[in-house]
Amino acid sequence: MSEPSIFTRILQGEIPATIVAETERVFAIQDIAPQAKVHLLVIPKTPYRDVPELAAADPALLAEMVQVASELAAEHADGDFRLLFNTGSGAGQTVFHVHAHVLAGGDLGEKSL
């Protein structure tokens, strides 16, 4: 079996983190290196590798992540937010346990489209 991801280790209490939300299937933490005034990570407890794998296996769980992100943006900022899934190392994914970056709080800069 592969090693538990850093997020699984946080969930199990082995590594400290600020947990800002938790449901039966999802939890959310503050990013350790925030790139915006509000930078949270919404993470399913089941460690799917990336968002395509998650979407194919359990679309309701992906929808729950979006719902939690939306609630957190309302709680921690004015409700507006950017949701980002880095997918693959070439796109900047460094933790291969799917997570949504929730960026909010204004001054998010230009969209890199």
Residues of this chain that interact with ligand 5GP (CB under 6 A) are 6, 15, 17, 29-33, 41, 86, 92-95
CA distance 17 to 105: 20
Say whether 64 sits in a helix, a strand or coil: helix
- Selected catalytic residue, list 39, 97, 99, 101: 99
- Between 19 and 63, whose beta carbon lies closer to ligand 5GP? 19
- Report in angstroms how near the CB of residue 83 gets to ligand 5GP at its nearest: 12
Task: Tell me the DSSP string of 14-53.
Answer: SS---EEEE-SSEEEEE-SS-SSSEEEEEEESS--SSHHH
Q: Which two tokens stand for residue 57?
A: 């296996």
Active site (annotated) includes residue 39: no
- Between 41 and 42, whose beta carbon lies closer to ligand 5GP? 41
- Between 8 and 30, whose beta carbon lies closer to ligand 5GP? 30
Q: Which two tokens stand for residue 23?
A: 């449901």
Which residues are annotated as catalytic? 99
